[in-house]
Amino acid sequence: MNDNQDLTKRRTSIGAQRNPASQEAILQAATEILAERGPGSFSIEAVAKRAKAGKPTIYRWWPNKAALLLDAYHRQKNPNLHTDTGDLQRDLTWFLTELLAFWRRGGCGAIFRSVIAEAQTDQAACEALAAYLAERRKHLGAQIRAAQARENIGAEVNPELVAEMLSGFAWIRLLTNRLEIDEEEAGKVVKTILDGIRGRG
C-alpha cells in the first residue's frame, strides 16, 4: 500500500465518523477568529491554522464557508426564542424582540450577516441557508399552527408563510443594521400579522 492510498483511506474514515474533538476544535477556532477579526476577514485557512487541522478535513465536514459559519452561529448561546404562554401575540412579540436582541449581542448578528452575504455569491452556501431557513420556518410555523384553533385563525392560513413574513422583517432589520426595537414596535408588527389572519365576526 503506498502512502497516497493510505491517506485516502484514513481521510474517508475520518470523514465518515467526524471526530468530535477535532470538530469542536475547529468550531472553537472559527468562533474565536470571528470574534477577533470580524466576519470580513474570516477564512478557512485561518481556522485550519488555529485548530491545527488540515483544510481538506474542514472542507470534508463543511462543504463551504457558510456551512461552517452556520455551525459557529449555532454554537452561540442562543436564548429560548419559542415560548408558549397560550397567547400567540405575546409569544411572537417575544420571539421578534429576543431574536433582535440576540443579534445585537456579542457579534451573533455579525456572524449571521456574513452567512447571508456568503450565500449571495456561492450557490451551495445559498442552498445551506435556504435549508436552515426552511427548518426555522417549520419551527415557528408549528407554533402558529398550534394556536390556530385556539385563537380563531382561519384554516386557510398557511402558518409557514406567516412565519416567513415575520422572519423577513427581522432579516431586513439585521441587514440594514437597524436592530434596535422596543416591545411596542415589535408588538405592532406581530399585531398586524395576527389581526390579518384572525377570523372576523
**Residues within the interface to a second copy (CB under 8 A):** 38-40, 113-114, 116-122, 126, 129-130, 133, 157-158, 161-162, 164-165, 167-173, 175-178, 185, 188-189, 191-197, 200
Query: C-beta of 61: minimal distance to a second copy in Å?
Result: 23
> Taking the alpha carbons of 179, 183, 187, 188 in that order, is the dihedral positive or negative?
negative
Give me the least distance between CB of 65 and a second copy, in Å please. Answer: 13
Residue 7 vs 35, nearer CB to a second copy: 35
Radius of gyration over alpha carbons of the chain, in Å? Answer: 20
What's the CA gap between 85 and 169, in Å, rounded?
23
Cβ neighbours for 190, distance < 8 A, ≥ 6 positions apart: 89, 92, 93, 96, 166
Q: What angle do CA 141, 147, 148 make, to 5 degrees?
A: 85
CA distance 182 to 184: 5
Nearer to a second copy, 46 or 116 (CB): 116
Burial of 154 (0-12, 13-18, 19+ CB in 10 A): exposed
**Cβ 12 to a second copy shortest distance, Å:** 30
Q: Pick the closer one to a second copy by CB: 7 or 130.
A: 130
Please tell me whether residue 63 adopts helix, strand or coil conformation: coil
Minimum distance, C-beta of residue 142 to a second copy, in the bound complex (Å): 18
How far apart CA 82 and CA 71 sit, in angstroms, is 20
Q: Which is nearer to a second copy, 142 or 161 (CB)?
A: 161
CB of residue 173 vs a second copy: minimum separation in angstroms?
8
Nearer of residues 14 and 179 to a second copy, judged by Cβ: 179
